[in-house]
């Protein structure tokens, strides 16, 4: 037992030293990943090992100026029906090992628009995070199907919302080098609205699928990623289902 505790402590100290060296931020226990009242947030330096292909973020394509750093970050998403939602915010490329999840006040979110706001003062400001390099994902926990993710695209902002939703950014990474392509379908249609070649993607490096949704009607859609791994040519198939709401006002 002592050996296990000692090894765990040594590992944490080593990660703290590495974190401080790489980021220039003096580590404080107050930045640990912990309960902050309405969410868990902080440094989580032991990320879960990646799967064959991992969905990291689904965001509305929208940008605000994050300098100077605002007092709070805000999220907004639409649900066509009430659902349990697992909200997660993390760096697309782990540098500070920042993570925010386990939002406490709303295990079930309502039909329609939903909001969440949290302070930048607890962790984000101290880590000097580059906000546009964060990924956000709202997974619908009540819908489960192997090989399929059910998500609600999120607007990530601090002051003003977009007047129209003109596109989406889907971020993924693969656990092994792979050659990929994508297609987007409306409902059960067999004819894609958009398709493209993503080329060869390197292990652990996030890549983005951008869909220009201009003119797309309000409905359910599906993004499909297909391809094969470079080392053994085994196939890859990942489905992401989401609901497109053209206006967030």
> Domain coordinates of the chain in residue numbers?
2-244
pLDDT tens by residue, 106-116: 667 999 999 99
- Residue that the structure tokens 């958009």 belong to: 194
Residue 203, CA distances (Å) to 154, 177, 206 in order: 26, 5, 9
pLDDT tens by residue, 72-91: 999 999 999 999 999 999 99
Range 2-244 has CATH code 2.60.40.2550: yes
What confidence score (pLDDT) does residue 228 get?
Answer: 96
Q: How far apart are the first and last CA of the chain?
A: 56
Percent of the chain with pLDDT over 70: 84
Side-chain-facing half-sphere of 201: CA atoms under 13 Å = 29
Which range among 26-35, 96-105, 125-134 shows the weakest confidence by mean pLDDT? 26-35
What confidence score (pLDDT) does residue 227 get?
Answer: 96
Rounded to an integer, what distance in angstroms lies between the CA atom of residue 200 and that of residue 179? 4
Q: What share of the chain is helix, strand, coil (3-state, %, to 5)?
A: 15, 45, 40
What confidence score (pLDDT) does residue 173 get?
Answer: 95
Q: Which of 169, 34, 151 is nearest to 87 (CA)?
A: 151
Give yes or no for residue 241 having a pLDDT over 80.
yes
pTM score, two decimals?
Answer: 0.86
What confidence score (pLDDT) does residue 249 get?
Answer: 75
3-state class of 155 per DSSP?
A: strand
């Amino acid at each position: 037992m002592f050996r296990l505790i000692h090894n765990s402590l040594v590992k944490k100290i080593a990660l703290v030293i590495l974190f401080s060296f790489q980021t220039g931020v003096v580590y404080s226990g107050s930045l640990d990943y912990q309960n902050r009242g309405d969410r868990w947030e902080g440094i989580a330096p032991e990320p879960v090992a990646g799967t064959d292909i991992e969905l990291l973020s689904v965001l509305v394509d929208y940008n605000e100026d994050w300098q100077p750093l605002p007092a709070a970050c805000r999220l907004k998403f639409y649900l066509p029906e009430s659902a349990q939602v697992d909200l997660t915010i993390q760096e697309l490329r782990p540098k500070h090992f920042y993570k925010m999840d386990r939002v406490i006040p709303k295990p079930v979110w309502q039909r329609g628009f939903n909001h969440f706001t949290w302070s930048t003062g607890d962790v984000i400001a101290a880590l000097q995070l580059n906000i546009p390099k964060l990924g956000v994902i709202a997974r619908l926990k009540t819908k489960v199907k192997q090989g399929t993710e059910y998500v609600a695209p999120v607007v990530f902002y601090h002051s003003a919302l977009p007047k129209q939703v003109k596109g989406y950014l889907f971020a993924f990474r693969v656990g092994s080098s792979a050659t990929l392509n994508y297609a987007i379908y409306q409902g059960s249609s067999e004819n894609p609205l958009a398709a493209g070649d993503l080329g060869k993607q390197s292990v652990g490096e996030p890549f983005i699928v951008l869909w220009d949704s201009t003119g797309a009607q309000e409905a359910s859609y599906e993004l499909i990623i297909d391809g094969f791994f470079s080392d053994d040519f085994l196939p890859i198939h990942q489905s992401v289902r989401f609901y497109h709401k053209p206006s967030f006002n």
